[in-house]
Amino acid sequence: MDMPRRAQQEAVRGGARHRPAPQTLRRPRPAAGSRPVEGAEQPGTVPSRSESPTRPRRQRVEWRDEDEFDADDAEAAAVRGHRGAAGTRIGTWFRGLTGSLALGLLLVALALIGVQVWATRQGQDGPGTTMIVSHAVAAVLALVLQRFADRNRDRRGAAALLAVLVAVFGTLWFWWWA
């Protein structure tokens, strides 16, 4: 009687259906301020399959301490438009605020559409087409500007955030407060 193919394969492998996971050991990182020893195995390196002396080892990852910061790094960050961590928390908070205001304006526009539909069914005058269209246009403009600001965290993104504030508060001022 022939064994099924899978059973034959399992018998050859010793009954295991899957190969066991390779056991790898991670070496601890060197202490802060100390440099790694040249030629020592470091986490983050990709070992070659063959450890033969004729085949050169792959390039090792360069270790850098968090305290080290070169002027070249600062210049490269400035060229890319990135700032340090000092302005990020405020920028994130401000983007969240303007995003909430833009979404709130969209909800106001949707509520005005609902009120207009309800008022029309009751035979009443609603907010009016001009008010609804202006709120909808301002809401779409604010959401597009917010999306741009979320993806560009530079001066253009900051200008987009200010434009969101102008769109939201301009609409509120013109239609509700004035």
Dump pLDDT digits (tens) for 107-153: 999 999 999 999 999 999 999 999 999 999 999 999 999 999 999 98
pTM to 2 decimal places: 0.52
Question: Where are any strands of DSSP class E within 32-174?
Answer: none
The DSSP secondary-structure symbol of 63 reads P
As a residue count, the chain comes to 178
Confidence of residue 3 (pLDDT cuts 50, 70, 90): low
Q: What is the DSSP letter of 59?
A: P
d(CA 35, CA 65): 9
For residue 26, is pLDDT > 90?
Answer: no
pLDDT digits (tens, 9 = 90+) for 45-79: 555 555 555 655 666 666 555 555 555 555 555 55
- Alpha carbons 1 and 20: distance in angstroms, whole number: 30
Q: Which residue reads 């779409």 in tokens?
A: 140
Confidence of residue 88 (pLDDT cuts 50, 70, 90): confident
| Sequence-distant (≥ 6) Cβ neighbours of residue 103 within 8 angstroms | 143
CB contact burial 123-151 (16+ within 10 A = b; e otherwise): eeebeeeebbebbbebbebbbebbebbee
Work out the average pLDDT over 75-90. Answer: 57
Please tell me the predicted confidence (pLDDT) of residue 84: 41
Q: Which residues, at least 6 apart from 99, have a Cβ–Cβ distance to it below 8 Å? A: 146, 150
Tabulate helix, strand, coil % of the chain (nearest 5).
55, 0, 45
Neighbours of 106 (CB within 10 A): 17
